[in-house]
Amino acid sequence: MTPIVTTINEDFLLGARALRNSWLRHSEEGFSFHVIGYGDEAFERTLNDEFDNVIMNPDIGANLPLSYKCLTPNPPMYARILIPSLFAEYEKAIYIDADAVILKSLDGLLKHDMGNNPCAGTPSWSPISREVIGLDNNHQGIMSALIVFNVAAWNRKGILDKCRVAMNEEKYHFKTVVQAVLQYVLGDDWYRLPQYAQVQGGHATTRNEIKNAYLLHFAGTSPWEPIPEALKPYPDYKIWARELWASYL
């Protein structure tokens, strides 16, 4: 069984429920579902009541960089880098943001030959230099909402320790925090999944764009929150993307 893992605090509990239900509907065969949670004892009880596989409050082991998008330390955001060490007995593991739902079996993601790359994902929209301020690198980095970990390669290359070192540096400003840290550490050492592997519900995504997608992810906005003013001009987004997400609650 390949683990599907998400990381949350109490604010993202609703998202974890929808993600779990989308796994049950579309990708239960061959996969298990796991939650890494951060919170108090009451939240731990809630998670253990609702989910079969819960890991609580694992230590990241480094300072957690802040940015204008993340004004306070946010362990769930960074905990994805722990997954290959927490699931070291598996060949591969899949991380998915809690503000996403699975649209079809993820088995196809496991069929890509990642070679010696430590992980796979879709390219971000902007070059690494835009996300890691002060770094001269104009290549596209990995987008961190969907990561397929090549567990042995990640651990063998010491990517977690490299992330910890980077997070303790003061040389760079990590604009998109954990995604920027991963882009800085990985450079070009990651396998590129097709861009259509995940589509963005937080943008003016059309219905046609989800036909081949594994994932509907709400970049920049959570589907359970009020629609931001900047997105209100897109009625198609308002109607179908959030309704599709809500159908998994």
In a domain, 208, yes or no: no
In a domain, 237, yes or no: no
Q: Which pLDDT score, from 0 to 100, does residue 125 have?
A: 86
In a domain, 201, yes or no: no
The tens digit of pLDDT for each residue in 212-226 reads: 899 999 877 788 987
How many structural domains are present in the chain?
1
In a domain, 61, yes or no: yes
Question: SS3 string of the chain?
Answer: CEEEEEEECHHHHHHHHHHHHHHHHHCCCCEEEEEEECCCHHHHHHHHHHCCCEEECCCCCCCCCCECCECCCCHHHHHHHHHHHHCCCCCEEEEECCCEEECCCCHHHHCCCCCCCCEEECEEEEEHHHHEECCCCCCEEECCCEEEEEHHHHHHCCHHHHHHHHHCCCCCEECCCHHHHHHHHHCCCCEECCHHHEEECCCCCCHHHHCCCCEEECCCCCCCCCCCHHHCCCHHHHHHHHHHHHCCC
In a domain, 75, yes or no: yes
In a domain, 173, yes or no: yes
Overall average pLDDT of the 107-131 stretch: 96
In a domain, 232, yes or no: no
CATH of the domain at 171: 3.90.550.10
> Residue 122 belongs to what domain range?
2-194
* 10-19, 206-215, 235-244, range with greatest mean pLDDT: 10-19
The tens digit of pLDDT for each residue in 157-192 reads: 999 999 999 999 888 999 999 999 999 999 999 999
